[in-house]
Amino acid sequence: MADKHKTLGEYIIENQSSFQYSSGELSRLINSIRLAAKVVNHEIRKAGLVDITGAAGEVNVQGEAQQKLDVYANDKFKETLINREIVCGIASEEEDDFVVVEGANGTNENKYVLMMDPLDGSSNIDVNVSVGTIFSIYRRVTPVGTPVTIEDFLQPGNRQVAAGYVAYGTSTMMVFTTGNGVNGFTLNPAIGTFYLSHPNMKINETGKIYSVSEGYFAHFEKGMQEFLKYCKEEEGTRPWTARYIGSLVADFHRNLLKGGIYVYPRSRTAPNGKLRLLYECNPMAFIAEQAGGKASDGFTRILDIQPTELHQRVPFYVGSKQMVEKAEEYMEQYKEHT
Ligand code: AHG
Ligand code: MN
Ligand code: MN
Ligand code: MN
């Protein structure tokens, strides 16, 4: 059967044996994410028609005003996974602390924890611009059958067993990896089925797109400023094209398909950048590497960073390998400058 006729459900069944540990539990978990993604997609597509845009009135642990859809997406993903008793713990951008998932009879034999950014780019909802969901899956490190602890969540990204995102764009796509390449599935909204539209996704070694919120130029470190000057110089394939949506999922997805670099750097006002290591950077870094790209904090491989707290932020450089390496060269060259 040609790939484009293959559904996500069929893909999961056929590839289960290639998933790490392959007990069937991970397949069921990815199936549950697929279901929650469809429910959230259905709600997002009503934005502007029913009262689901705008602020929810609460501030999350990140200090951000929660949008109604942030809360909705968080609740839907949590509820879907808890109802199916398919994870032993969940951590989310929208939750102060991690959630211990109790089994129906008080015990929980599941091996996986899930971390998520339930709605990425939420400032874009009200203006009809693409948003997304990001997820990251690990095997717990504490004994099965006991309540999860912080240790189960503070694992370096190189221990992820699966990661992915859902892009709610002109079409809805689910892109994920289980450590065996990256595959993209597009939702046919008429029948609610995801099809394998983008098998074995690879990112070009280099590209022409750079994605940075450049308005903060004056607050960036010298190395980043010099890299931005390089992006704009007239030489070879440069100047490059600036593209910045403000939804990591959408910016990352475009660069994955076309080749490019996305950077959320350290700045004077955001000394560790803005993006969250566990919910945003690790899953995107895993996907980037699996597609042949690269992800770093400007100096170090993202996936090798040992997290110290749940909501930790890190500077993030991700995309085409040669472009990330070029940015790292500038960071190294000017690292003594403040
Ligand atoms: P979230 O909506 O999940 O809080 O994430 C927002 C993030 C990310 O999607 C985006 O790339 C970045 O914030 C944009 O930040 P700026 O508005 O500072 O550019
Ligand atoms: Mn947020
Ligand atoms: Mn986000
Ligand atoms: Mn979010």
Q: Please spell the DSSP secondary structure of 155-215, one letter per residue.
A: --GGG-SEEEEEEESSSEEEEEESSS-EEEEEEETTTTEEEEEE-S----SS-SEEE--GG
Tens of pLDDT, residues 129-166: 999 999 999 999 999 999 999 999 999 999 999 999 99
φ, ψ of residue 193 in degrees (nearest 5): -120, 135
Residue listed under structure tokens 């790209």: 293
Between CA 173 and CA 197 the distance in angstroms is 9
ipTM: 0.96
Give the model's pLDDT for residue 21: 66
CA 135 to chain centre: 6
Q: What is the CA(7)–ligand 4 centre distance, in A?
A: 28
User: What is the Cβ-side half-sphere exposure of residue 98, based on CA atoms within 13 angstroms?
Assistant: 24
Identify whether the C-beta of residue 80 lies closer than 8 Å to the C-beta of residue 42.
Answer: no
Tens of pLDDT, residues 104-131: 777 889 999 999 999 999 989 989 999 9
Q: Which residues of 222-236 are buried (b: 16+ CB within 10 A; e: fewer)?
A: ebbbbbbebbeeeee
Q: What is the CA(244)–ligand 2 centre distance, in A?
A: 17
Mean pLDDT of the chain: 95
Q: What is the CA(238)–ligand 3 centre distance, in A?
A: 30
Q: Which residues of 106-143 are buried (b: 16+ CB within 10 A; e: fewer)?
A: eebebbbbbbbbbbbbbebbeeeebbbbbbbbbbbeee
Tens of pLDDT, residues 87-110: 999 999 999 999 999 877 778 899
Segments of the chain with pLDDT less than 70:
20-22, 338
> Best of 119, 120, 244, 279 to mutate for ligand 1, by most ligand atoms within 8 A of CB?
120
> Best of 247, 249, 253, 279 to mutate for ligand 1, by most ligand atoms within 8 A of CB?
247
Give the model's pLDDT for residue 22: 63
